[in-house]
Structure 1
Amino acid sequence: MYHVLLDPIAEEQIAALPDGALHPLAELFALLEVAPWSGQPYNPANPKANMLTHTFGERGLATYIVLDEQREVYVIRIEWP
């Protein structure tokens, strides 16, 4: 199981999310704890890189880094346009 950590900027972005986005985001975090590689490569030209994106809810996008040796997922950005 992986531990999900939040960058301070991601924390600020989460605080600004609408209420309807919080449950889907929590579901995404639960998924990332067990399947962190389930997202899409941040850079399609480098599909084996450890920076990924994953959608959540109707419009959300999380960008994160998988740190296998530490068993951590470091969420760097949360977007909800």
Structure 2
Amino acid sequence: MYKLVLDPVAEMQIAALPDEALRPLAELFTLLETAPWSGEPYNSANPRANMLTHAFGERGLATYVVLEQQRETYLVRVEWP
């Protein structure tokens, strides 16, 4: 199990999400706590890096860093265009 830590900017972005994004985001949070390596590499040129992205809902994208030694997932940004 990984501890999910929210960056202050991600917190502000989450507060601005529409209601339709909240359930998919909650499901993503569960995934990030249990299987954070399931995301896609943020940089395709470095697929083994610990910065990843994960889609959620119909249009959402989360960017996060997996800190393996600390067993943390640090959520950097949340986008819902």
User: How does the TM-score come out when normalised to structure 1?
Assistant: 0.99
**3-state DSSP of counterpart to 1:44:** coil
Matches within 5 A, 1:2-81: 2-81=2-81
One-letter amino acid of the structure 2 residue matched with residue 11 of structure 1: E
In structure 1, C-alpha distance between the alignment counterparts of 2:32 and 2:76, rounded to whole Å: 14
Structure 1 unaligned blocks of 5 or more? none
**3-state DSSP of counterpart to 2:58:** coil
Deviation for aligned residue 1:60: 0.1
CA RMSD between the two structures: 0.3
User: How does the TM-score come out when normalised to structure 2?
Assistant: 0.99
**3-state DSSP of counterpart to 2:45:** coil
Stretches of 4+ aligned residues off by more than 3 angstroms: none
In structure 1, C-alpha distance between the alignment counterparts of 2:34 and 2:63, rounded to whole Å: 17
- The number of equivalent residue pairs is 81
Deviation for aligned residue 1:43: 0.1
Structure 1 vs Structure 2: percent identity of aligned residues? Answer: 75
